[in-house]
Amino acid sequence: MLTDRLRSMFRKESDPVSYHPQLAADQSTAAMRAVAAASARGKTQRGASPPITRQSRGIEQFFFNIRDVVGLSVLDCAGANQDNIDFLINLGHKVYSQDLVRNLDDCFQDLTEQTNPSRIEYFLKQNFDYPAESLDGVLLWDSLQFMSPPLLNATVERLYEVMTPKSYLLAFFTATEKMTEVPAHSFRIADAKTIVITERGVRPAGQIFNNRSLEKLFTRFESVKFFLTRESLREVIVRR
Amino acid sequence: MSSTPFRTPDADPRNAATIGKSVKIVGQIYAKEDLYVDGDVEGTIESHENKVTVGPNGRVQASIRARDVIILGQVQGNVETSDKVDIRKDAKLVGDITTSRISIEDGALFKGSIDIKKPEPKSAPAPAMPVAAAAPAPRPVEPAHAASGATGGR
């Protein structure tokens, strides 16, 4: 709450960020429903921050790249929620859904276990067992930043194999380079340019990221584009 | 394609065939009425014209085919419905869904794919062909002598 108040003091008038419950009048019905759902969840979690609705250049770029196409297979790693499913289904796509951060907890006790090759292989089989070049889009949100380097490299390699050429993935990474623990969030799509973010605690960061390390991480991919947000989050669009 | 959230009424166990929580079935289940599963089922469950509800104690390792499916327990298997799938907040589903509509409450765990199939429109009866108006019957032509009143001979 205090952090949100300090942020609001430094926010410019043209700032696209808006905070629940003071939504702009022209927010879409879907955005309002997404906020209500996230807020209801937040009330049941002691100390949870209220959800934040903001425009996302990353999500805007992702959906811009797949505009005018239907029938794609899109993997959403945010965990099943009605808003994301509805949005993708209404675009005419087939949705694959999983909660990748939760699956990390189910598979690994801690970051140290994430270096075990057999556990890594098991994790990839449980979460990315798709035919080669079958996924036309992947929404990873902030899940990759909680992976240790061996697991992260193996995951990115597997993503390269299962994504179709010219398809896109979206991933968020904290831009603060000195934090050992970073906030974890849940993400809901309000519309093609807007997301609703709810913090769900903090988690150990797998490693420290900067633009150079991210470019190296996705070196096999065709292109990497960065957008830096006000919350010190890197939104990264990567083209297979 | 409906994206409006909905909550399908649970199948009333009193009005549905019920598999109690102490029951385990391994095999194929065919139902011609609503089915409420609160026990363990391995195999397949089919109830094409009706609703299948997996209760909070239900543990299903089976593919499910029904008109509607409501999940409050755990399902591992593919789910195919002609109308809707409703996954409640403490439910867990691992499998692929094929349906016309889907509702997932916050707190539900789902891992798999969602494929929306629009229901085929019912074939409308062929419109009746318009009957052409019958042409009036031609008036009979009377013989000329009769018409002019001429008499026979000179």
- Å between A99 CA and nearest CA of chain B: 8
Q: Are B66 and B81 in contact (CB under 8 A)?
A: yes
Domain count, chain B: 1
pLDDT of residue A18: 39
CATH number of the domain bearing residue A132: 3.40.50.150
Whether residue B40 lies inside any domain: the answer is yes
Instruction: Please give the structure tokens belonging to residue A174.
Output: 């904290």
Whether residue B132 lies inside any domain: the answer is no
Whether residue B110 lies inside any domain: the answer is yes
Whether residue B88 lies inside any domain: the answer is yes
Whether residue B138 lies inside any domain: the answer is no
pLDDT of residue B75: 98
Whether residue B141 lies inside any domain: the answer is no
Whether residue A24 lies inside any domain: the answer is no
pLDDT at A110 > cutoff 90: no
Report residue A203's pLDDT band, with 50, 70 and 90 as the boundaries: confident
Whether residue A174 lies inside any domain: the answer is yes
Q: Of A22-31, A200-209, B91-100, B127-136, give the lowest mean pLDDT range.
A: A22-31
Cα–Cα distance, A35 to A32 (Å, whole number): 5
Q: Of A39-48, A229-238, B21-30, B138-147, give the lowest mean pLDDT range.
A: A39-48
pLDDT at A11 > cutoff 60: no
Containing structural domain, residue A203: 56-183+199-239
A window 7-36, beta carbon within 8 A of B: 33
- Å between A90 CA and nearest CA of chain B: 7
Domain count, chain A: 1
What residues of chain B score a pLDDT lower than 70? 1-6, 8-14, 120-154
Q: Report, as an integer, the average pLDDT of A137-158.
A: 95
pLDDT of residue A195: 95
Contact A90 B1 (CB under 8 A): yes
pLDDT of residue B118: 78
Whether residue A33 lies inside any domain: the answer is no
pLDDT tens figures, A169-194: 999 998 877 777 888 899 999 999 99
Q: Are A15 and A59 in contact (CB under 8 A)?
A: no
Average pLDDT, chain A: 83
According to DSSP H, which parts of A66-112 are helical? 82-90, 100-107
Cα–Cα distance, B47 to A238 (Å, whole number): 44
Cα–Cα distance, A199 to A36 (Å, whole number): 15
Containing structural domain, residue B85: 18-116
Whether this model's pTM surpasses 0.80: no
Whether residue A209 lies inside any domain: the answer is yes
For residue A77, the chain B residue with the least C-alpha distance is B111
pLDDT tens figures, A52-80: 999 999 999 999 999 889 999 999 999 99
Whether residue B13 lies inside any domain: the answer is no
Whether residue B131 lies inside any domain: the answer is no
pLDDT of residue A8: 46
Q: Report, as an integer, the average pLDDT of A118-141.
A: 95
Whether residue A29 lies inside any domain: the answer is no
Whether residue A17 lies inside any domain: the answer is no
Query: At A193, which amino acid appears?
Result: K
Whether residue A22 lies inside any domain: the answer is no
- Å between B50 CA and nearest CA of chain A: 24
